[in-house]
Structure 1
């Protein structure tokens, strides 16, 4: 049994995790611990507080007691908002507090983009445009070329969590770009686990979503590979590269 831990802010799309646990179809357990979200706002000051050391470390003991072998801060915006170096510092502090290998959803995206062999990517975000732009900057710092980045102007995770299949497909279609080799949907508040395979079939390219890449990243930290076609191209191929945080 491989136990993986996720620090997840608030309550929006956490039910993606038991769904993905079933899709993995193997001896993998996904343990979700909720952190205090503070103010629910896709706004820089609120996101910096949401991703603060105190809020993250508050859930670490519960994960440690669960037997988790690795921990991922399952939030994209409250990691990339710190910038490339600041997000590294956030993960280092989390790893020290947990005594476990650690990462975040932002780094999961950076690693997953390389894993699927993409250089040029498009971003279809739920966030306001300024926050979507910060994610694009983070990806550029990771070495990816962002050919387009589209925001949707949604301020709260609570609203994003109400979106279903039709909204997710519309977001992906609107945010895709013909030059992009992969499409990224960067919000762990967005339900996507049930739709990844459908999105890839329609768009004809790898689609990377926040909760999907968070689970892949935790498996990578635990040195596990699981073939799970329902979770898309990322979960059906041999690794291209060995990547480290």
Structure 2
């Protein structure tokens, strides 16, 4: 099989080491290329969240991915997409696709598509963000047709702080956010290093757990029309697709 090259625009530096870890778990015929974009202000305020996703900042990273031979590009941030609202996030990825000359998406749409892939409608949200940003994410999920059974905000102000979290903090967030009514748990924020902890999280909760870097790479694979079985990456990577999105 020919090599599949996936491109990602990642704001700043926090949890990016999840991506080479995912690449190792996917197999030798998939390449993950990461380009860092300028983040500007880090606080998780609604106004600051929209700035990293400006057309100019995304376009600056696209050329490098095109030269690397990427077949699809994903804007690897949750907050930098949902902060624009459903319509604004759609316009963002349309503009990115036109600039890149390849299929494009973002982490927020990755969450929506991954939930559909798993056949779940009711989800719980555990976010490191302050409450305002978490509400913007739950509004985005509602626009995607998902029912949010509950949302827990850890109130962390910056991506850098989230990037310092380990397994204990992730498990505490997951337990605080989960509810019996939820069919899956969503942990947004590509600053969080979650990939190494997915098996523990899913075993603890007894249900699928979708995390930002996990769904970001899955979304790129979807755009490239690839399906990969990688059990270490959670339930999302261990089943046949229910729906072609």
* TM score, norm. by length of structure 2: 0.98
The aligned residue for residue 223 of structure 1 is 225
Q: Deviation at 1:165? A: 1.1
Deviation at 1:25, TM superposition (A): 2.2
Which structure 1 residue ranges, 4+ long, deviate > 3 Å from structure 2?
Answer: none
Q: What is the rounded CA distance, in whole Å, between the counterparts of 2:52 and 2:156 in structure 1?
A: 17
**What aligned pairs does 1:19-168 form with structure 2 within 5 A after superposition?**
19-168=21-170
Once residues 51 and 155 of structure 1 are traced to their aligned partners in structure 2, the CA distance between those partners, rounded to angstroms, is 18
Deviation of 1:51 after TM superposition, in Å, equals 1.1
Runs of at least 5 residues in structure 2 that lack an aligned partner in the other structure: none
Question: 1:202: Cα distance to partner?
Answer: 1.0
Per the alignment, residue 195 of structure 2 pairs with 193
| TM-score normalized with structure 1 length | 0.98
- Alpha-carbon distance between aligned partners in 1 of 2:105 and 2:229, rounded to the nearest angstrom: 21
> Partners of 1:5 and 1:222 in 2: how far apart?
10
Query: In structure 2, the residue corresponding to 1:88 is in which secondary structure?
Result: helix
**How many pairs are equivalent?**
243
Please tell me whether residue 209 in structure 1 is matched to residue 175 in structure 2: no
Give the match's secondary structure for 1:63: helix
Structure 1 Cα separation of the partners of residues 59 and 157 of structure 2: 25
The corresponding residue for 2:244 is 242
Unmatched segments (≥5 aa) in structure 1: none
Counterparts of 1:46 and 1:159, CA distance in 2? 16
Indicate the larger mover: 187-196 or 163-172: 163-172
Q: How far, CA to CA, are the matches of 2:98 and 2:65 in structure 1? A: 13
Report the secondary structure of 2:70's partner residue: coil
What residue is the counterpart of 2:6 in the other structure? 4
Coordinate RMSD, CA, aligned: 0.6
Deviation by residue 1:50-107 (Cα, 9 ceiling, x = unmatched): 1111111110000000110000000000100100000000000000010010000000
